[in-house]
């Protein structure tokens, strides 16, 4: 019996950086909830961006944001893992030196000092981040949850060296072709799913998960019903027990509709 469904967003439910879901997904999630099945949206995005995407049902789901550093629901933070503050400025400086636009997520909003108009438009109009612009991120005193570097044309080799330099001090992961994410070493979507399962007293055998990227593998391992979408990375497809249709063909929605129909 399925009691918890967790899905990545970018590349799984939407295109990368997209903000539109098939409206039928909202209806299906509500039907599942009426049957006693919880839904959690898991993403590298800030919780405000998740809230925007799921606006019609924003108070009916759980949010796993910032790759698992944030776990909450609408209007309520349940669990937050803070970044190692002493490393923050070094990481920001290295990302800038690598030619990346830097985004710093805190509990309530995200900050950047990028002057790239295309990047800023994407954050506001694509991801719909609750974004504040600073003259210099070095002046930020608020506790940090995640630091991400972005290159809209693709990271290429610009992410090289970050794992070697920070791999024992921080969690460093690629989130698609454009994003390099850094967090506390204990942070992952998988750890957040495990925490949610324990809080709700739900077993992995009662959990279904959908993902497409490397940062989804740990949460796929937390569920017996682990699905990679057809457009997912080869490593992610290999880690999953099952394969769903691609994001553009509404793969997860097709599986969830079958689950609703079986009830």
Please tell me the distance from the alpha carbon of residue 105 to that of residue 4, in angstroms, as a whole number.
27
Q: What CATH number corresponds to the domain at position 148?
A: 3.30.1240.10
Which letter, b or e, does each residue of 33-51 get, where b requires 16 or more Cβ atoms within 10 Å of its Cβ? Answer: eeeebbbbbbbbbbbbbbb
Are 135 and 197 contained in the same domain? no
- Where does a domain end: 128, 162, 183? 183
Per-residue pLDDT tens over the stretch 217-232:
999 999 999 999 999 9
Say if residue 230 is exposed, middle or buried (CB neighbours under 10 Å; 0-12, 13-18, 19+).
Answer: middle
- Domains in the chain, number: 2
Are 197 and 71 contained in the same domain? yes
Q: Output the pTM of the full model.
A: 0.86
Query: Average pLDDT of 65-87?
Result: 92
What is the domain range of residue 119?
Answer: 85-183
- Where does a domain end: 164, 183, 202? 183
| Contact of 172 with 160, CB cutoff 8 Å | no
Residue 38: phi and psi, rounded to 5, are -80, 155
DSSP assignment string, 150-174: E-TT--TTTTTTHHHHHTTTSEEEE
Please tell me the distance from the alpha carbon of residue 100 to that of residue 58, in angstroms, as a whole number.
32
| Sign of the alpha-carbon torsion through 38, 230, 70, 25 | negative
229: which residues sit within 8 A by CB, 6+ positions away? 11, 12, 210, 211, 212, 243, 244, 245, 246, 247, 251, 252
Q: What CATH number corresponds to the domain at position 28?
A: 3.40.50.1000
Residue 148: phi and psi, rounded to 5, are -125, 145
- Where does a domain end: 183, 211, 231? 183
| Contact of 36 with 69, CB cutoff 8 Å | no
pLDDT band at 262 (very low <50, low <70, confident <90, very high): confident
Query: Average pLDDT of 195-207?
Result: 98
Per-residue pLDDT tens over the stretch 116-163:
999 999 999 888 888 999 999 999 989 999 999 999 999 988 888 898
Please tell me the distance from the alpha carbon of residue 53 to that of residue 115, in angstroms, as a whole number.
26
């Amino acid at each position: 019996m399925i009691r918890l469904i967790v899905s990545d967003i970018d590349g799984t439910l939407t295109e990368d950086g997209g903000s539109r879901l098939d409206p039928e997904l909202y209806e299906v999630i509500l039907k599942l909830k009426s049957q006693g099945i919880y839904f959690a949206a898991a993403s590298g995005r800030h919780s405000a961006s998740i809230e925007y995407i799921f606006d019609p049902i924003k108070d009916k789901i759980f949010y796993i944001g910032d790759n698992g550093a944030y776990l909450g629901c609408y209007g309520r933070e349940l669990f937050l893992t803070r970044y190692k503050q002493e490393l923050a400025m070094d990481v920001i400086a290295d990302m800038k030196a690598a030619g990346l636009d830097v985004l710093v997520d805190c509990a309530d909003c995200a900050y950047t000092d990028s002057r790239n108009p295309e990047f800023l438009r994407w954050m506001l109009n694509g991801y719909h981040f609750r974004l504040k612009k600073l003259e210099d991120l070095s002046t930020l005193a608020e506790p940090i949850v995640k630091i991400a570097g972005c290159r809209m044309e693709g990271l290429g080799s610009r992410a090289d060296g970050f794992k070697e330099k920070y791999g024992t001090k921080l969690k460093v992961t690629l989130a698609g072709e454009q994003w390099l994410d850094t967090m506390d070493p204990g942070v992952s979507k998988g750890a957040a799913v495990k925490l949610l399962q324990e809080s709700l007293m739900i077993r992995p055998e009662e959990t279904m998960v959908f993902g497409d990227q490397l940062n989804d593998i740990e949460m796929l391992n937390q569920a017996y019903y682990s699905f990679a979408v057809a457009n997912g990375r080869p490593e992610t497809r290999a880690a999953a027990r099952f394969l769903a249709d691609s994001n553009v063909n509404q793969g997860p929605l097709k599986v969830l509709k079958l689950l609703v129909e079986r009830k």
